[in-house]
Structure 1
Amino acid sequence: MATGMPVRRRYLVIQLRRLRHAAKMTQDEVWKALGWGRAKIQRLEAGEFQRVKAGDIMALCQLYSAPEAVAEELVQIARDSRTDKPWWLQYQDVLPGAFVGLEAEATMIQEFNIGLVPGLLQTEPYIRALLAPSIGNTEEQANLRLESRLERQNKVLGRSEPALFFAVIDEAAIRRQVGGPDVMRGQIEHLLEMSRRPNVEIQILPFSAGAHAAGGLPFTVLSFSDGNSADSVVFLESRGDGFYLESQEEIHRHRLIFSRTQGSALSVGESADFLGSLIG
């Protein structure tokens, strides 16, 4: 999938692949039925296109007997993608556009993190401290990264209808002195403040929990629409744009892992008490 591709088009591609599989059709059967060339459906499902036509999406939805509501949504995405420019494009040199875009469209986010506070919950001083030691990071790039991360927070949690955000944070991330005691105190106070929002739940996974379902591997489940497995994707972070798991089996597995990790963590109330105890 092309890096920086507008997120709703990426979501469109995911949905089209799932609709084709549900219709039990191969790519060859599709292009022959529609009178297309083989390369067209291959490029479409790989996300290797610059422009997508609403008529093509409508034809695919009709062929797959997609529910009317689903077809309308995907056709509208195709129309919008030809005119709308997502906010993160101005930061495409410093942000993994595909993930940030998906995150911006998600209606529910479930994140397990280990070594660091989740990006959506980081304070400006905390972000500055993280960026300071970055290898090959010029001052201009650092400032742009900071600006982009703050804008990302605003677009996801500050919008009029923000996503539901469930975070399980390993105690190690809270204990790690990023930027020193003053920065961490401000960061913990910010976590407490964010936890009071009706759409945000923060749980701390204490050292005392021992081994747990997540097994030390951070991941994020992004859900769209009504949040079922067909409208979700799992993101595994890496140095580049990361990896995306889209099969319903993987999505269900990671949701189960997240649920069990939540069960091993302190409750929301206990987590708030724990955070409060760290700052007196």
Structure 2
Amino acid sequence: MATGMPVRRRYLVIQLRRLRSAANLTQDEVWKDLGWSRAKLQRLEAGEFQRVKAGDIMALCQLYDAPEDVARELIQIARDSRTHKPWWLQYQDVLPGAFVGLEAEATMIQEFNIGLVPGLLQTPDYIAALLESAVGSTKDQAEQRLKIRLERQRNVLECPEPPLLFAVVDEAAVRRQIGGADVMREQVRHLLHAGQRPNIEIQVLPFASGAHAAAGLPFTILSFGDGHSADSVVFLESRSDGFYLESKDEIDRHRLVFSRTQGSALSVQESADFLEGLIS
């Protein structure tokens, strides 16, 4: 993908590639079927565009037999690109499709979390306990969201080339009894097990650290390619919505915050010892 690709453009490209793959079509089959040039489709799937026609996206979605909600979202992104609307995403959902799609493409993930264990490292029982306490969610919705979250973990952590994952977790997240003592013991054991993978580093930020650079600001940095600022995004999440920061200054600032927060946290080994102490 192109370096410095804006978030919505990157998301659009990811979805179009996945839809074509799901339809079992090659690039040659697509451009010939639509009467396009080979170069046009190649540029589109490489993200080498500033604006894209909604009609082109509509034609691709029809050819790929895309789900109606996915097609509607991608067509709207194309329309927004023609009217100079911001290229950051806002949405309301527990597991926004845009974030999950980008997360699965990242080569490095740096996450700081305060009150909860990072989503990629949560156990099924821990997730179920969180969903059970969610407001306005039916049992069927909770079960579906549990399946989606577990699939998200598999797509990211069990893929042939999983990303580097650096997680700094506030002590409150591992002490809060989500689901009760047994669920939390299992969750802590899972963190210890995950931390043994060569691509995952987990650090605990203890209460004793006092004030720190990331105080009150959970965030995730998703990096693509070589992980330079020009090819990274910062995701900020709240209960009702979330959005991305794309400017180099914002990304560099959050990288510095994350680095300093790592410095305030226990080392990887000290963190493992700390977690062991919670279940011993």
| Contact persistence 2:116–2:173 (CA under 8 A) | yes
Matches within 5 A, 1:30-109: 55=40, 58=43, 73-74=46-47, 83=64, 95-109=95-109
Deviation (angstroms), 1:100: 1.0
In structure 2, do the counterparts of structure 1 residues 206 and 131 end up closer, same or farther at CA, with 3 Å as the change threshold? same
Deviation track 1:145-185 (CA, whole Å, cap 9, x = no partner) reads 10000000000111110011000000000110000100000
SS at 1:220 equivalent: strand
Q: Aligned residue for 2:78?
A: none
- Whether the 8 Å CA contact 1:94–1:141 is kept in 2: the answer is no
Residue 13 of structure 2 contacts residue 45 of structure 2 at CA under 8 Å; is this kept in 1? no
- Distance in 1 between the 2:234 and 2:119 partners? 16
SS of alignment partner, residue 234 of structure 1: strand
Rounded to whole Å, the distance in 2 between the matches of 1:195 and 1:84 is 41
**Structure 1 match to 2:123:** 123
In structure 2, what is the Cα distance between the partners aligned to 1:103 and 1:217?
19
Structure 2 equivalent of residue 111 of structure 1: 111
Give the unaligned 5+ runs of structure 2. 1-7, 16-37, 71-91
1:214 counterpart = 2:199 = no
Structure 2: which amino acid aligns with 1:131? L
Structure 1 residues 130 and 7, CA gap change in structure 2 (3 angstroms):
farther
Report the RMSD for the aligned CA atoms in angstroms: 3.1
- Contact 1:7/1:98 (CA < 8 Å) preserved in 2? no
Q: Aligned residues, how many?
A: 220
Q: Distance in 2 between matches of 1:231 and 1:221?
A: 11
Name the aligned partner's letter for residue 12 of structure 2: R
Does structure 2 conserve the Cα–Cα contact (< 8 Å) formed by 1:214 and 1:257? yes
User: Which residue does 2:167 correspond to in 1?
Assistant: 167
Q: Which stretches in structure 1 are left out of the alignment for 5+ residues? A: 13-52, 59-70
Contact 2:93 2:240 in 1 (8 A): no
If the length of structure 2 is used for normalisation, what is the TM-score?
Answer: 0.71
Aligned positions of 1:217-228 closer than 5 A: 217-228=217-228
Shift of 1:239: 2.6
Answer yes or no: is 1:247 the counterpart of 2:247. yes
Q: What are the Cα deviations for residues 85-137 of structure 1, in whole angstroms up to 9, with x where unaligned?
A: 79xx6xx9762111111111111000000000000000000001101121111
What is the identity percentage for the equivalent residue pairs of Structure 1 and Structure 2? 66
